[in-house]
Amino acid sequence: MVTALYALAFIIGLGRSGLYYIPWNIYPFIPDVDEMVTRQRREGIFAGIMTFVRKSTTALATFIVGVVLSSGGFVSKATTQSPEAIHTLIGVLVVGNIGLLVISFIVATVFKLSKKNHTILLAEVNRLKNSGSMKSVNAETRDVVEMLTGWKYEQLWGNNNVSPQKPVQSDLKKVN
């Protein structure tokens, strides 16, 4: 029984590491992508959204687990639980953690922001900050930036209706 408990704790630890590692490892790069779209650094906005989403999903997960355990016959503060409640508890712990771990790995493997792509994005942001022309972008940079932002290159760097400021690039037609 102790070995099973250690194995379960190990699986839970893997799930929790994915839960914390993946979002907080990705978070610092999101403002760089946003800067390419808006020409603004808005780390504070993303930190607020990240905190809100984390707290909201934690509350939702707690509620869902409570409903599942309750429907499985779990009785809070009872000294013993029914076999159905124990099976439900094991199912939530094992299936829930393994499921979330699998989802975390899938998201991590299909995420498009790699070290190489981030370097290309930062180089383009710095080039544009130093009065570089959007017309002189190379094909690889254009493709990477469009893939990461989800926008056409001509609509980036404030040339869109997301950015509250007027674009400073005069070498491209404004696209809304």
Tell me the average confidence (pLDDT) per consecutive run of 10 residues in the chain, 176 residues long.
90 76 80 94 90 93 95 94 95 85 81 91 97 96 96 94 63 51
Residue 146 near residue 138, CB atoms below 8 Å:
no
**Spatial separation of the C-alpha atoms in residues 175 and 156, rounded to whole Å:** 9
Can you give the pLDDT at residue 170?
A: 47
Can you give the pLDDT at residue 13?
A: 83
Can you give the pLDDT at residue 36?
A: 96
